[in-house]
Structure 1
Amino acid sequence: MKYLITFLSLVAILFVACQQPPKDQQTTAATPKDTVAKDSLKPAESGYADVNGLKMYYEVYGSGKPLVLLHGSFMNIPMNWAHIIPVLAKDRKIIVAEMQGHGRTKDIPRKFSYEAMADDVSGLLKHLKVDSADVLGYSMGGGIAFQFAVRHPEQLRRLVILSGTYAHNGWWPDVEASFATMNADMFKGSPIEKQYLSYGNDSAQFPAYIKKVLSADVVPYDWSKEVKNIKAPIFMAIGDADGVRYEHALDLIRAKGGGKMGDIHGLPKSRLAILPGTTHIGMMTHADWWMPMVKDFLDSNLDPAPPMF
């Protein structure tokens, strides 16, 4: 129980952190407050896409190569991406959406699954007439992103996974066990409950919402074979104090050509980062660490580099 209380306290911290601009946009004594680019937070396009029985809420920012951002469990666009969008939208077309039952996308009588949500993302790209895109998923969004890569490879250019897993045992055992013990009472008064109610949802349905979102993680799943056969380059990042096992990330990078000395064998197209002093929620508060890595990965020529020796 004490670990879950700590987790929910961190969620509150994350909510506050996500409302702050990134370091390169924060004001200083020499920088007037009105120079912070408020317009960068206004979408160029927003609305609802009819996909697979959902009215899926989405927003589009910036221009350039498209990058889709997929949020974590119980999150929505502002909670997860408010401080990320202004940075990434400087030179890319950023597409953000709210998954089934999250934010402004109302729930429907459909099983909550990574596969279904991946199909929703595919439908959204078709709605927006985007042939292919880079996809970045955080936590639950990482699972959706993995399934998108497996089920819709023709729509994927490159894949970025932040603190996500491709098998249920990719989580540390105590983390995996905690999913079955979470309930709505633990979220009472939290930013998650407040944002759920702020979109006009019935408070009486909040317990069912929590249970339904968690349902995707209480049933064992293992996509190891399919994920390791993904053709697109993958960048996977976890924290050294994350909920994701180190071995889980290492297994994937080895399957994608890693686990060798690059100076001898050349660099693989896929990459792995383990951020120091970073928890699962800390992955978002340390976005200024991983965003330059992600931008380099997405913009780099990933043709195999020749060995130096």
Structure 2
Amino acid sequence: MNTRIKTGFLAAIILTVIACRPQQDTVVSQETKPAESGYADINGLKMYYEVYGKGQPIVLLHGSFMNIPLNWSRIIPLLAKDRKVIVAEMQGHGRTKDISREISYEGMADDVSGLLKHLKIDSADILGYSMGGGVAFQIAVRHPEQVRRLVILSGAYAHDGWWPDVEASFATFTPEMFENTPIKKQYDSLGNDPEHFPEFVKKVISIDLKPYDWSREVKNIKAPIFMAIGDADGVRYEHALELFRAKGGGKMGDIYGLPESRLAILPGTTHIGMMQQTDWLIPMITDFLDSDLNAPPPTF
């Protein structure tokens, strides 16, 4: 792994924080303040969560090293206008303190399942970004009855879903890379033990150092899936296309009708830049979630 790539990923980490922060002129109205927040006792965790708005519930799952304000500040006000938005912080992230178990996609999926039960929500739409996309896939695999529809932003369902150089870069991450970054400062400010930060970094990155492939299980998910990647993302185009074809894509909709699932490749968009594309993403996400799956194909 050359120095340019390692430096690029460090810059990307910092840019994630900058990209996901709300603009300075954004006014947080009463509607975008949490109606409920707190800690749920889930699988040995005290899992921090917040709830905004009213309506059909949607759960937002953040990316690696992130938390609610860093990942979702721009998204929450837009979705909470007509939905119940549930946001949670995964094991070791934000205000959810780490415990003595490994961090895994499967474990985090079970935690989110437990949170939905704690909130007495039978079924919800699930939206995951990057690491959160992997968690979202696992929720649909392990707890299908709790998933209405699935939105995956820049996420992968197999370790080789990433471009090879991106996958190789995961092994180069070190705690020292985060020194003096906003992510490290956020970690410390939320009451975490600074001495635990190196272990936190190693545990989070470990989930992508072990080969995984959920292709068979993910292709058999019954819930409709909307998968979006950037044309300059870390996720391979073929990876997204393979899932879309398995979910009914690859046919002319004017003849066969639209598939229940959807795929978007956003132009001029990187992995980090995905979270900046709210003008494109929010209309596409809400149209997918509100769509009539039984609608007939268009006629002339």
Q: TM-score, length-normalised on structure 2? A: 0.96
Q: Are the equivalent residues in 2 in contact too, given 1:269–1:304 (CA < 8 A)?
A: no
1:3 to 2, 5, 18: 5
Instruction: State the Cα deviation string for residues 136-178 of structure 1 (Å, max 9, x = none).
Output: 0000000000000000000110000000000000000001011
Amino acid of the residue matched to residue 151 of structure 2?
V
Where in structure 2 are the equivalents of 1:1-309 lying within 5 Å? 1-21=3-23, 36-303=27-294, 305-306=296-297, 308=299
Distance 1:192 1:93 in 2: 27
Deviations along 1:273-297, one digit per CA (max 9) or x if unpaired, are 0000100000001122111100000
SS at match of 2:221: coil
Comparing 165-174 with 189-198, greater Cα deviation is found at: 189-198
Cα displacement (A) at 1:269? 0.2
Q: Deviations over 1:171-204 (max 9, x none)?
A: 0000101111110111111111111111222222
Matched residue type, 2:126? V
Residue 30 of structure 1 corresponds to which residue in structure 2? none
- Extract unaligned runs of 5+ from structure 2: none
Deviation per CA, 1:28-47: give whole Å up to 9, x if none.
xxxxx8xx343233100000
Query: What amino acid sits opposite 1:197 in the alignment?
Result: D
Quick check: 1-10 or 152-161, which moved more? 1-10
**Alpha-carbon deviation of 1:9?**
2.0
Deviation at 1:105, TM superposition (A): 0.2
Coordinate RMSD, CA, aligned: 1.5
Aligned residues: 298
AA in 2 matched with 1:265: Y
Distance 1:5 1:85 in 2: 31
1:209-256 C-alpha deviation (Å, 9 max, x unpaired): 100000110000000000000000000000000000000000000000
- 1:217 is paired with a residue of what secondary structure? coil
Deviation string 1:84-118 (CA, Å, 9 cap, x unpaired) is: 00000000000000000000000001111000100
What is the letter of the counterpart of residue 280 of structure 2?
W
Q: For the Cα contact (< 8 Å) 2:32–2:53, is it kept in 1?
A: no
Q: CA deviation at 1:10?
A: 2.9
Q: What displacement does 1:53 show?
A: 0.4
More divergent stretch after superposition (190-199 vs 241-250): 190-199
Q: One-letter code of the match for 1:198? A: S
Distance in 2, Cα, partners of 1:220 & 1:180: 12
Report the TM-score when normalising by structure 1: 0.93
Structure-2 separation of matches of 1:211 and 1:119: 21
Per-residue CA deviation, residues 109-135 of structure 1 (Å, 9 max, x unaligned), is 111100010000000000000010000
The answer (yes or no) to whether the contact 1:8–1:190 under 8 Å persists in 2 is no
Separation (CA, whole Å) in 1 of partners of 2:58 and 2:103:
24
* Aligned 8 A contact 1:70 1:97 in 2: yes
Structure 1 gap segments, 5+ residues each: 28-32
